Amino acid sequence: MDYILFKKSISENIKVVAVSKTKSTEKIKEIYDLGHRDFGENKVQELVKKYEDLPKDINWHLIGKLQRNKVKYIAPFIHLIHSVDSERLLNQINKEGDKNNRIINVLLQIKISNDPLKTGFEYSELGDMFSGSIFLKYKFVKIIGFMGIGSIDQSKNEKEFKKISDYFNKINKIHDLKYLSLGMSNDYKLAIKYNSNMIRIGSLIFGSRN
Protein backbone atom coordinates (compact mmCIF):
# COMPACT_ATOMS: atom_id res chain seq x y z
CA MET A 1 0.00 0.00 0.00
CA ASP A 2 0.97 3.59 -0.51
CA TYR A 3 2.43 5.19 2.64
CA ILE A 4 0.22 8.26 2.50
CA LEU A 5 -2.98 6.24 2.13
CA PHE A 6 -1.93 3.92 4.92
CA LYS A 7 -1.05 6.78 7.28
CA LYS A 8 -4.39 8.48 6.53
CA SER A 9 -6.23 5.31 7.48
CA ILE A 10 -4.68 5.25 10.97
CA SER A 11 -5.91 7.45 13.85
CA GLU A 12 -3.57 10.27 14.89
CA ASN A 13 -3.42 8.77 18.38
CA ILE A 14 -1.61 5.72 17.13
CA LYS A 15 2.14 5.85 16.65
CA VAL A 16 3.26 4.09 13.49
CA VAL A 17 6.78 2.66 13.57
CA ALA A 18 7.90 2.01 10.00
CA VAL A 19 9.91 -1.21 10.16
CA SER A 20 12.78 -0.70 7.73
CA LYS A 21 14.86 -3.85 8.36
CA THR A 22 16.67 -5.05 5.20
CA LYS A 23 15.54 -1.88 3.36
CA SER A 24 18.06 0.56 1.90
CA THR A 25 18.73 4.05 3.25
CA GLU A 26 17.32 5.42 -0.05
CA LYS A 27 14.01 3.67 0.59
CA ILE A 28 13.93 4.98 4.15
CA LYS A 29 14.72 8.49 2.94
CA GLU A 30 11.69 8.34 0.61
CA ILE A 31 9.38 7.70 3.56
CA TYR A 32 11.28 10.25 5.67
CA ASP A 33 10.68 12.86 2.97
CA LEU A 34 6.94 12.26 3.31
CA GLY A 35 7.27 13.41 6.92
CA HIS A 36 7.71 10.10 8.74
CA ARG A 37 10.18 10.12 11.64
CA ASP A 38 9.81 6.80 13.51
CA PHE A 39 11.69 3.83 12.09
CA GLY A 40 12.29 0.40 13.56
CA GLU A 41 15.08 -2.11 13.05
CA ASN A 42 15.66 -5.56 14.53
CA LYS A 43 19.47 -5.74 14.37
CA VAL A 44 21.85 -3.44 16.23
CA GLN A 45 24.53 -3.31 13.56
CA GLU A 46 22.09 -2.42 10.80
CA LEU A 47 20.39 0.16 13.00
CA VAL A 48 23.67 1.89 13.88
CA LYS A 49 24.74 2.03 10.24
CA LYS A 50 21.44 3.59 9.19
CA TYR A 51 21.55 6.02 12.12
CA GLU A 52 24.93 7.21 10.85
CA ASP A 53 23.81 7.51 7.23
CA LEU A 54 20.41 9.16 7.72
CA PRO A 55 19.14 12.50 9.14
CA LYS A 56 19.61 12.88 12.88
CA ASP A 57 16.00 13.80 13.68
CA ILE A 58 14.84 10.22 13.06
CA ASN A 59 13.45 8.41 16.12
CA TRP A 60 15.07 4.97 16.02
CA HIS A 61 13.27 2.02 17.59
CA LEU A 62 14.93 -1.30 18.32
CA ILE A 63 12.33 -4.06 17.94
CA GLY A 64 14.52 -7.20 17.82
CA LYS A 65 16.40 -9.31 20.33
CA LEU A 66 19.08 -7.22 22.09
CA GLN A 67 22.23 -8.75 23.51
CA ARG A 68 23.69 -7.09 26.55
CA ASN A 69 27.11 -6.55 24.99
CA LYS A 70 25.49 -4.53 22.19
CA VAL A 71 23.56 -2.04 24.32
CA LYS A 72 26.53 0.33 24.28
CA TYR A 73 26.28 0.88 20.52
CA ILE A 74 22.73 2.24 20.62
CA ALA A 75 22.65 3.81 24.11
CA PRO A 76 23.77 7.27 22.94
CA PHE A 77 20.85 7.83 20.58
CA ILE A 78 18.14 5.14 20.70
CA HIS A 79 14.59 6.53 20.99
CA LEU A 80 12.85 3.41 22.29
CA ILE A 81 13.85 -0.21 22.91
CA HIS A 82 10.75 -2.41 22.47
CA SER A 83 12.40 -5.74 23.15
CA VAL A 84 13.54 -5.78 26.77
CA ASP A 85 13.09 -9.39 27.82
CA SER A 86 15.15 -9.81 31.01
CA GLU A 87 16.17 -7.97 34.16
CA ARG A 88 19.82 -8.45 33.32
CA LEU A 89 19.21 -6.54 30.11
CA LEU A 90 17.40 -3.77 32.00
CA ASN A 91 20.36 -3.52 34.33
CA GLN A 92 22.75 -3.21 31.39
CA ILE A 93 20.64 -0.54 29.70
CA ASN A 94 20.65 1.36 33.00
CA LYS A 95 24.46 1.25 33.14
CA GLU A 96 24.78 2.54 29.60
CA GLY A 97 22.18 5.22 30.26
CA ASP A 98 24.29 6.35 33.20
CA LYS A 99 27.46 6.45 31.07
CA ASN A 100 25.69 8.49 28.41
CA ASN A 101 23.92 10.62 30.96
CA ARG A 102 20.49 9.98 29.43
CA ILE A 103 17.36 8.18 30.45
CA ILE A 104 16.59 5.41 27.96
CA ASN A 105 12.94 4.65 27.23
CA VAL A 106 12.02 0.98 27.02
CA LEU A 107 9.07 -1.34 26.65
CA LEU A 108 8.97 -4.70 28.37
CA GLN A 109 8.38 -7.44 25.84
CA ILE A 110 5.79 -9.92 27.06
CA LYS A 111 5.73 -13.44 25.70
CA ILE A 112 2.14 -13.57 24.50
CA SER A 113 2.63 -16.49 22.11
CA ASN A 114 3.82 -20.05 22.53
CA ASP A 115 5.75 -19.99 19.25
CA PRO A 116 9.19 -21.45 20.05
CA LEU A 117 11.28 -18.53 18.75
CA LYS A 118 9.41 -15.77 20.57
CA THR A 119 10.99 -14.33 23.71
CA GLY A 120 9.82 -12.02 26.44
CA PHE A 121 8.76 -11.97 30.05
CA GLU A 122 6.11 -14.36 31.29
CA TYR A 123 3.17 -12.59 32.94
CA SER A 124 4.02 -14.36 36.19
CA GLU A 125 7.59 -12.96 36.20
CA LEU A 126 6.31 -9.43 35.67
CA GLY A 127 3.99 -9.64 38.66
CA ASP A 128 6.99 -10.30 40.92
CA MET A 129 9.06 -7.54 39.33
CA PHE A 130 6.29 -4.98 39.71
CA SER A 131 5.70 -5.79 43.35
CA GLY A 132 9.46 -5.24 43.86
CA SER A 133 8.90 -1.95 42.03
CA ILE A 134 11.02 -2.31 38.97
CA PHE A 135 9.68 1.08 37.90
CA LEU A 136 11.78 2.90 40.49
CA LYS A 137 14.82 0.67 40.59
CA TYR A 138 16.66 1.96 37.53
CA LYS A 139 17.49 5.63 37.43
CA PHE A 140 18.52 5.72 33.79
CA VAL A 141 15.74 3.55 32.37
CA LYS A 142 12.13 4.54 31.93
CA ILE A 143 9.63 1.74 31.38
CA ILE A 144 6.87 3.31 29.29
CA GLY A 145 4.85 0.29 28.18
CA PHE A 146 4.68 -3.23 26.83
CA MET A 147 5.38 -4.93 23.54
CA GLY A 148 3.97 -8.18 22.20
CA ILE A 149 4.31 -10.28 19.06
CA GLY A 150 1.32 -12.43 18.15
CA SER A 151 1.51 -16.06 17.09
CA ILE A 152 2.06 -16.90 13.45
CA ASP A 153 -1.18 -18.87 13.68
CA GLN A 154 -3.57 -15.93 13.41
CA SER A 155 -6.49 -17.80 14.94
CA LYS A 156 -4.68 -17.38 18.28
CA ASN A 157 -4.14 -13.62 18.03
CA GLU A 158 -7.45 -12.39 19.38
CA LYS A 159 -7.02 -14.22 22.67
CA GLU A 160 -3.36 -13.14 22.97
CA PHE A 161 -4.14 -9.49 22.21
CA LYS A 162 -7.05 -9.35 24.63
CA LYS A 163 -4.88 -10.71 27.42
CA ILE A 164 -2.00 -8.25 26.97
CA SER A 165 -4.46 -5.39 26.54
CA ASP A 166 -6.24 -6.23 29.81
CA TYR A 167 -2.87 -6.54 31.53
CA PHE A 168 -1.72 -3.19 30.13
CA ASN A 169 -4.89 -1.51 31.44
CA LYS A 170 -4.44 -3.10 34.84
CA ILE A 171 -0.81 -2.02 35.28
CA ASN A 172 -1.56 1.38 33.79
CA LYS A 173 -3.87 2.13 36.72
CA ILE A 174 -0.90 1.94 39.09
CA HIS A 175 2.05 2.96 36.93
CA ASP A 176 1.87 5.54 34.21
CA LEU A 177 2.38 3.65 30.97
CA LYS A 178 2.32 5.23 27.55
CA TYR A 179 2.50 2.60 24.83
CA LEU A 180 1.18 -0.81 23.99
CA SER A 181 3.29 -1.86 21.00
CA LEU A 182 1.24 -4.54 19.32
CA GLY A 183 0.43 -5.29 15.72
CA MET A 184 2.30 -5.73 12.47
CA SER A 185 1.24 -5.55 8.80
CA ASN A 186 -1.05 -8.56 8.96
CA ASP A 187 -2.61 -8.06 12.39
CA TYR A 188 -2.55 -4.34 13.17
CA LYS A 189 -6.30 -3.87 12.82
CA LEU A 190 -6.97 -6.49 15.46
CA ALA A 191 -4.22 -4.97 17.64
CA ILE A 192 -5.86 -1.54 17.44
CA LYS A 193 -9.19 -3.09 18.40
CA TYR A 194 -7.41 -4.21 21.58
CA ASN A 195 -6.06 -0.74 22.39
CA SER A 196 -2.66 -0.93 20.76
CA ASN A 197 -1.40 2.64 20.31
CA MET A 198 1.92 1.77 18.69
CA ILE A 199 2.04 -0.47 15.64
CA ARG A 200 5.12 -1.82 13.87
CA ILE A 201 4.55 -1.86 10.13
CA GLY A 202 7.11 -3.22 7.68
CA SER A 203 5.86 -4.86 4.50
CA LEU A 204 2.73 -2.71 4.16
CA ILE A 205 4.89 0.42 3.93
CA PHE A 206 8.06 -0.87 2.29
CA GLY A 207 6.81 -3.86 0.30
CA SER A 208 7.62 -7.46 1.07
CA ARG A 209 11.08 -8.60 2.20
CA ASN A 210 12.95 -11.43 0.49
Residues near ligand PLP (CB under 6 A): 19, 21, 42, 63-64, 149, 184-186, 200-204
* Minimum CB–partner distance for residue 133 and ligand PLP (Å): 28
Name which of 78 and 138 has its Cβ closer to ligand PLP: 78
Q: Are 23 and 43 in contact (CB under 8 A)?
A: no
Q: Are 121 and 109 in contact (CB under 8 A)?
A: yes
* Minimum CB–partner distance for residue 83 and ligand PLP (Å): 7
Name which of 104 and 198 has its Cβ closer to ligand PLP: 198
* Minimum CB–partner distance for residue 41 and ligand PLP (Å): 9
Q: Are 204 and 185 in contact (CB under 8 A)?
A: yes
Name which of 138 and 147 has its Cβ closer to ligand PLP: 147
**Residue in the shown chain whose Cβ atom is closest to ligand PLP:** 202
Of 115, 69, 104, 62, residue with least CA distance to 88: 69
* Minimum CB–partner distance for residue 203 and ligand PLP (Å): 4
Q: What is the dihedral of CA 111, 167, 95, 81, to 10 degrees?
A: 60
Q: What is the dihedral of CA 201, 173, 175, 120, to 10 degrees?
A: -50
Name which of 21 and 178 has its Cβ closer to ligand PLP: 21
